[in-house]
Amino acid sequence: MLTYQPGTTAVHRLDPRSKLLFQGGFAVAVFAHDSLAVLAGLTTIALAPLWVASLSPLRLLRGFRFILLLLVIAPPIAAVSFGPSWFVVDRALDSAVASYQVVVMLLVAGTYVYTTPVRETRAAIQRHVPGRAGQLLGVGVGLVFRLTPVLVADLGRIRDALDARGGESLSTVARVRRLALVGLRRAFDRASRLSLALRARCFAWNPTLPELSFSRLDVPVLVLSVALALSAFL
């Protein structure tokens, strides 16, 4: 599971608000264009931060392997037609382009997760979403970023324990059922312990968050973000 890794690269030093704005502008651009030439250019833009942050694209995509599996099987499923002709190639091509757009977007989102501390993300949200709504959203985002890798690791340990007890001999449906039941039970246990830990540590809705400030390093990123968003209207 991809998580934040401390570093001193230019991408790590960017203000989280610049990176969030870049994600927004990039998403608008990538889903507004289905031209292969434009998508190739956007792919180059998405890979550039990975190179600067010293993050392997293969390592990043491994963190999204379950999503990638769904994206791979989507085109043939979309092409199936219940009647003559039984396989519509145009549908498969349209679905393949849409799947690739999602993959390119995952590259940008994964780079953000890898280079941005959770506290900075929460600070960026709470600074720009006023009141309790911003606090609730900031807490929710922080908990999702922190707990998702833990829950994924739990599922891996449950699967290994099931295999050690002869689970490989079970049918796929039985394995999925057991993984789901034990995984849900473990998730609820985690939630109960988290609730107790937050109360024990006098959880605050509005803690002291890190100071955020733009630098000259953010200027080209902000300009590129706006340009990408405007490209959807060209």
The Cα 1–Cα 223 span in angstroms is 31
Measured CA to CA in angstroms, residue 12 lies from 3, 76, 142 at distances of 13, 39, 18
Mean pLDDT (the chain, rounded): 83
Residue 204's pLDDT is 62
Query: Do residues 174 and 214 lie in contact, with contact meaning Cβ atoms separated by under 8 Å?
Result: no
The Cβ of residue 212 has, within 10 Å, a number of other Cβ atoms equal to: 13
CB 78 within 8 Å of CB 92: yes
The pLDDT assigned to 158 comes to 81
Which bin fits 170, alpha (ψ -120 to 50), beta or left (φ > 0)? beta
Q: Which pLDDT value is given to residue 206?
A: 61
Within 10 Å of residue 158's Cβ, how many Cβ atoms? 19
Distances (CA, A) of 126 to 112, 139, 148: 18, 9, 21
* One-character DSSP codes across 181-226: HHHHHHHHHHHHHHHHHHHHTT--SS--PPP----TTHHHHHHHHH
Res 201 pLDDT > 70: no
Residues 16-68 have pLDDT tens digits of 999 999 999 999 999 988 888 999 999 999 999 999 999 888 888 888 888 88
Residues 72-105 have pLDDT tens digits of: 888 888 888 777 777 778 888 888 899 999 999 9
CA 201 to CA 160: how far, in whole Å?
34
Mean pLDDT of 113-132: 82
Total residues belonging to the chain: 234
| CA neighbor of 114 nearest in space, from 79, 181, 64 | 64
Boundaries of every domain in the chain: 10-117+211-231, 132-200
Q: How far apart are CA 46 and CA 55, in angstroms?
A: 12
CB-based contact 122:142 (threshold 8 Å): yes
The CA distance from 44 to 104, in Å, is 9
Q: How do residues 130-154 score in pLDDT, each as one tens digit?
A: 776 766 677 676 667 667 777 777 7
